[in-house]
Amino acid sequence: MALDTTDTQNIIDQPEVLKPRMVTIEIAGKKVEVPEGITVIKAMWYAGQEVVRGVGCLGGFCGACATYYRTKDDPKVRTCLACQTAVQDGMSFTMMPPFPARKATYDIQALQDPKQDLFNLYPETPLCRNCNACTEACPQQIDVREGVWKAVFGDFKSVSEMFMDCVMCGMCTPVCIADIAPNLVALYVSRAQGAHFTEKPVGLDSRIKEIQDGRFNEEWNKILKMNDQELAEHCATVK
């Protein structure tokens, strides 16, 4: 086959890939040398650790790998998702253990007054002292503190929009001095918003009824009786 000659020139400069610089990091207090720039999770594997708890989707969606870290000479302890963060020299990190936050249980459909019920299910919610630690702890950059107050004031719609990015890592919970679990509050609020305060899609109900009433039966009968050849020809007509 004719190879295009441009290929040899189209190479992205990545000297760090050809000769990885080794950096020293600390994993749960222990110093190890790992290649710069690999993810925090990969650094743990590189260091020889078997990781069972603390790895999930590896794509930044599941919140299993919530991690505390600090960079060289910076006193500030930050949070990250270990599968989505690159290591750098002098970094020190440890994974967050599962935190025993209390989750309220409820029958979402049976709620009579979801906005009031919030205070029965999560009575600590209005006790927020505005310290903002939850917002600072969120690796998804959600304004968690603002969300808690919006929940308290009944603006469930805003909460559900703000927390669409929430991966339920729970890092907002251990930092709360009022023992609120903001992610669980937001989950309740979002579900209530969906189940109780969002318009019912009329088109969906009519489609369900059409199927029940057999509106498509004639078409089904026609299609399911076709042989492979006829079916293939019919399919080709649908663009």
Q: Which of 24, 26, 58, 178 binds other proteins (CB under 8 A)?
A: 58
The one segment of 21-29, 57-65, 66-74, 123-131 that binds other proteins by CB under 8 A: 57-65
- Which member of 49, 71, 132, 158 binds other proteins (CB under 8 A)? 49
Q: Let me know: does 89 contact 24? Beta carbons within 8 Å.
A: yes
Interface pick for other proteins out of 100, 107, 130, 227 (rule CB under 8 A): 107
Which listed residue (22, 57, 131, 177) binds other proteins by CB under 8 A?
57
Q: Taking CB under 8 A as the rule, which mask of x and - marks residues 131-160 in contact with other proteins?
A: ---------xx------------------x
Nearest-angstrom CA–CA distance, 177 and 153: 20
Cβ atoms of 13 and 66 within 8 Å: the answer is no
Contact 157, 190 (CB under 8 A): no
Q: According to CB under 8 A, which one of 200, 213, 225, 227 is a site residue for other proteins?
A: 200
Region near other proteins per CB under 8 A, out of 126-134, 143-151, 172-180, 197-205: 197-205
Q: Judge whether 34 and 14 are in contact, CB under 8 Å.
A: no
Indicate whether 110 belongs to the interface with other proteins (CB under 8 A).
no
Among 28, 108, 127, 131, binds other proteins (CB under 8 A): 108
Does 100 contact other proteins by CB under 8 A? no
- Of 130 and 214, nearer to other proteins (C-beta) is 214
Provide the angle, in degrees to the nearest 10, between the axes of the packed helices 182-196 and 114-121: 160
Cα(23)–Cα(46) distance, integer angstroms: 12
Q: How far apart are CA 221 and CA 19, in angstroms?
A: 64
**What per-residue string of b and e applies to 43-73 under the rule 16 or more CB within 10 Å gives b?**
bbebeeeeeeebbbebebeebbbbbbbbeee
List the one residue from 24, 26, 47, 117 that touches other proteins (CB under 8 A): 47
Footprint (CB under 8 A) of other proteins, residues 165-194: 165-168, 187, 190-194
Strands 78-81 and 92-95 turn out to be unpaired
Residue ranges in 5-44 that form contacts with other proteins under rule CB under 8 A:
5-7, 9-15, 17-18, 37-39, 42
How many chain residues interact with other proteins (CB under 8 A)? Answer: 86
